[in-house]
Amino acid sequence: MGRRIQGQRRGRGTPTFRAPSHRYKADLEHKKSEEHDTISGEIVDIEHDPARSAPLADVEFEDGDRRLVLAPEGITVGDTLQVGVSAEIKPGNTLPLAEIPEGVPICNVESQVGDGGKFARASGVSAQLMSHDRDVAVVQLPSGEVRRLPPECRATIGVVAGGGRTEKPFVKAGNKHHKMKARGTKYPRVRGSR
């Protein structure tokens, strides 16, 4: 009898290959704000999310909205974050690329206006705003790729918290097992036997 290759097994959709997305805390998106308005919010808590390696900040905004946002390095419980065109240039604040000075590290960068953020979201990474003008903003992603984006796309100032994660070894196979279980990745991968 033949043997199904792993790609075929994955396509069947059994629990081995399915991510436990019911445990994930939130879909991270930038808060919607009016064009000429700036909304402030206070960081109530910093939480772990099984879906990602970076911590999340629980923010309560002035308008009563409470949401989880990607936590950059240097923020603590009790700090105030701002979202909007006239927000300050400091870690945790979210602004359009057109309003951010060149050379500032940014994270959770939108690919298209209003999509909530797609680039530079893993722990310890950041993108670099290289230049911008009226028509286009040039951003260097963590991979080194240079993207030309609309200047209305928003991004959060700072480097994503949780850097140095890869420097600590797993030490035990059980630790690796629990990490993979949270991602829906088949583990262990073996190369066959003699």
The C-alpha atoms of residue 47 and residue 26 are separated, in whole angstroms, by: 11
Angle at 49 (CA atoms; ends 58, 165), nearest 5 degrees: 110
Q: In this structure, are residues 70 and 56 in contact, taking their beta carbons and an 8 Å threshold?
A: yes
**Selection from 67, 159, 35, 43 nearest residue 108 by Cα:** 159
Q: Is residue 113 part of a domain?
A: yes
Q: Is residue 194 part of a domain?
A: no
Q: Is residue 43 part of a domain?
A: yes
Q: Is residue 189 part of a domain?
A: no
Q: In this structure, are residues 153 and 97 in contact, taking their beta carbons and an 8 Å threshold?
A: yes
Q: In this structure, are residues 103 and 67 in contact, taking their beta carbons and an 8 Å threshold?
A: no
Q: Is residue 1 part of a domain?
A: no
* Total tally of structural domains belonging to the chain: 1
- 99: helix, strand or coil: helix
Q: What is the CATH number of the domain that holds 163?
A: 2.30.30.30
**Selection from 131, 186, 142 nearest residue 54 by Cα:** 142
Q: Is residue 134 part of a domain?
A: yes
Q: Is residue 91 part of a domain?
A: yes
107: domain range?
Answer: 6-183
Helix (H) or strand (E) holding 47: strand 38-47
Q: Is residue 94 part of a domain?
A: yes
pTM for this model (two decimals):
0.87
Q: Residue 137 corresponds to which amino acid?
A: A
Question: Residue-wise pLDDT tens for the chain (194 aa)?
Answer: 788 998 999 999 999 899 999 999 988 899 887 655 889 999 999 999 998 999 999 999 998 889 999 999 999 999 999 999 989 999 999 999 999 999 999 999 999 998 999 999 999 999 999 998 889 999 999 999 999 999 999 999 999 999 999 999 999 999 999 999 888 888 898 887 66
